[in-house]
């Protein structure tokens, strides 16, 4: 059970144009893009219950980026993220304090062991290529030639991209979004939203109530509550198909080092592993039984490592037979059980309640595009750069899922 004492902060005012519930990377992105938009001149309050972010989805992230998705818009979201990261200082107004960042392009390698899975990779490759991604399809022989350490005896096809796919410093971007937004007037407070009051017609949220007792009037509310998104939505009388799913990460060393960088390899089993720095590796996965979990459940499953993850790694890369775990943790995905894609836009009845929920594990890399898009929606009532309308909440009402097949 997670328990900590946090001093609650009162907001400076009693009324804000935009209240963002949740200050992790999604909330920080929306707040910064609002502050960066010369056409937005409103006030913004970000309410975050835990400023350490220790148990947020952001805090447990593996900070990876890829363009290998099955839908064009997801590819384009990651392409914008890559550009944003590589040009962070320019996006931050050429602030000399902002560091130069880069993407560590060890790449992603999807491995298919059936013709059905191989066909999905082929279909996705065509979408990625049309969007300008550098994905290449590889036969088992070509995989083995490029990466001799793989066992490819059961593999039908591989999909690899070494351009703008790999690790990025999401925490630095996150920190600068918060720092820059504060300097521009966005107010962050350590507090918790405990209830919302709607107007008599039930069409607008008129105010939020904080755990410390203050009642704050609001023009618009943005749900950026991560795995707890459904709890925030319930305060406005809304239900969304987002729940916390547990994901495990292990850092390990090996006696027999690989002779070249390891792409983030997605085994057909769902286990994934990648390079972690110069000498270590990082693996991740989850159990076959993958239910929603309690919000404070971060307990490790040691049997999962021993019985499934490690044997899978050793079978795919025999040099991983002798390895030693040096660190491990469990985190949560904000999992959209409807179609594994983000939910954006405003509610169909509570018109000033906005969603930025259900990233299902690819939210970090989409945070620049999603934050910018929601900021545009709040400012103009429409998207002005990438058209993100396929992610609109209305698809939930219509029961029209927008499926993303490449979910790890």
The answer to whether the beta carbons of residues 217 and 16 sit under 8 Å apart is: yes
189-203: average pLDDT: 98
Confidence band for 4, pLDDT divided at 50, 70 and 90:
low
pLDDT of the residue at 283: 97
pLDDT 10s digits, 178-191: 999 999 999 999 99
Separation of alpha carbons 33 and 38, rounded Å: 10
Cα 345 to the center of its chain, rounded Å: 17
Which pTM value belongs to this model? 0.95
309-327: average pLDDT: 97
Separation of alpha carbons 52 and 61, rounded Å: 14
Within 10 A of 267 (CB to CB), how many other CB atoms are there? 22
140-165: average pLDDT: 98
pLDDT 10s digits, 14-24: 999 999 999 99
Separation of alpha carbons 385 and 290, rounded Å: 36
pLDDT of the residue at 2: 46
Query: Is the pLDDT reported for residue 3 higher than 60?
Result: no
Query: Is the pLDDT reported for residue 171 higher than 80?
Result: yes
Query: Is the pLDDT reported for residue 60 higher than 90?
Result: no
Query: Is the pLDDT reported for residue 102 higher than 90?
Result: yes
Separation of alpha carbons 45 and 261, rounded Å: 43
Confidence band for 1, pLDDT divided at 50, 70 and 90:
very low
pLDDT of the residue at 53: 85
Strand 242-254 and strand 108-112: the pairing is: unpaired
Query: Is the pLDDT reported for residue 201 higher than 70?
Result: yes
pLDDT of the residue at 279: 85
Separation of alpha carbons 345 and 352, rounded Å: 10
pLDDT of the residue at 5: 67
pLDDT 10s digits, 226-285: 999 999 999 999 999 999 999 999 999 999 999 999 999 999 999 999 999 888 999 999
Q: Which two tokens stand for residue 19?
A: 């209240």
* Residue 293 burial class via C-beta count within 10 angstroms: exposed 0-12, middle 13-18, buried 19 and up: middle
> What value does the mean pLDDT of the chain take?
95
Distances (CA, A) of 348 to 17, 31, 38, 286, 358: 20, 23, 28, 35, 18
pLDDT 10s digits, 28-37: 999 999 999 9
Distances (CA, A) of 295 to 1, 60, 183, 227, 229: 9, 14, 32, 8, 11
Query: Is the pLDDT reported for residue 57 higher than 80?
Result: no
Query: Is the pLDDT reported for residue 68 higher than 70?
Result: yes
pLDDT of the residue at 58: 79
Side by side, the strands of the sheet bearing 242-254 are 136-138, 157-161, 108-112, 264-266, 272-276, 280-285, 242-254, 323-336
66-88: average pLDDT: 97
């Amino acid at each position: 059970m997670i328990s900590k004492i946090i001093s609650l902060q009162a907001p400076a005012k009693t009324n804000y144009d935009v209240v963002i519930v949740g200050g992790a990377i999604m909330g920080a992105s929306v707040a910064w893009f609002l502050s960066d938009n010369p056409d937005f001149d409103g006030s913004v309050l970000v309410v975050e219950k835990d400023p350490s972010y220790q148990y947020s989805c952001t805090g447990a992230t593996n900070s990876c980026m890829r363009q290998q998705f099955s839908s064009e818009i997801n590819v384009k979201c990651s392409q914008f993220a890559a550009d944003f990261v590589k040009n962070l200082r320019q996006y931050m107004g050429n602030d000399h304090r902002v560091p130069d960042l880069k993407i560590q392009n060890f790449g992603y390698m999807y491995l298919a062991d059936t013709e059905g899975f191989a066909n999905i990779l082929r279909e996705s490759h065509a979408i990625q290529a049309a969007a300008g991604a550098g994905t290449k399809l590889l036969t088992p022989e070509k995989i083995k030639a490029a990466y001799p350490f793989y066992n490819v005896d059961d593999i039908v096809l591989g999909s690899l991209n070494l351009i703008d796919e790999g690790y990025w410093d999401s925490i630095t971007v996150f920190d600068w979004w918060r720092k820059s937004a504060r300097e521009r007037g966005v107010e962050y407070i350590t507090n918790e939203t405990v209830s919302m009051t709607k107007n008599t017609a039930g069409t607008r949220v008129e105010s939020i109530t904080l755990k410390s007792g203050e009642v704050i009037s609001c023009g618009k509310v943005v749900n950026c509550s991560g795995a707890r998104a459904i709890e925030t939505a319930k305060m406005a009388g809304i239900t969304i198909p987002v729940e916390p799913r547990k994901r495990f990460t292990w850092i390990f060393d090996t006696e027999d080092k690989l002779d070249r960088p390891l792409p983030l390899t997605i085994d057909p089993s769902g286990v994934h592993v990648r390079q972690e720095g110069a000498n270590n590796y990082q693996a991740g996965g989850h159990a076959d039984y993958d239910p929603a979990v309690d919000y404070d459940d971060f307990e490790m499953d040691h049997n999962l490592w021993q019985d499934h993850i490690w044997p899978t790694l050793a079978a795919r890369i025999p040099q991983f037979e002798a390895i030693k775990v040096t660190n491990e943790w469990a985190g949560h995905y904000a999992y959209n059980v409807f179609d594994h894609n983000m939910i954006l836009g405003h509610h169909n009845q509570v018109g000033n309640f906005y969603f930025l929920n259900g990233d299902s594990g690819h939210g970090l890399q989409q945070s620049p595009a999603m934050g910018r898009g929601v900021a545009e929606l709040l400012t103009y009532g429409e998207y002005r750069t990438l058209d993100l309308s396929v992610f609109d909440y209305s698809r939930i009402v219509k029961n029209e899922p927008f499926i993303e097949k490449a979910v790890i």
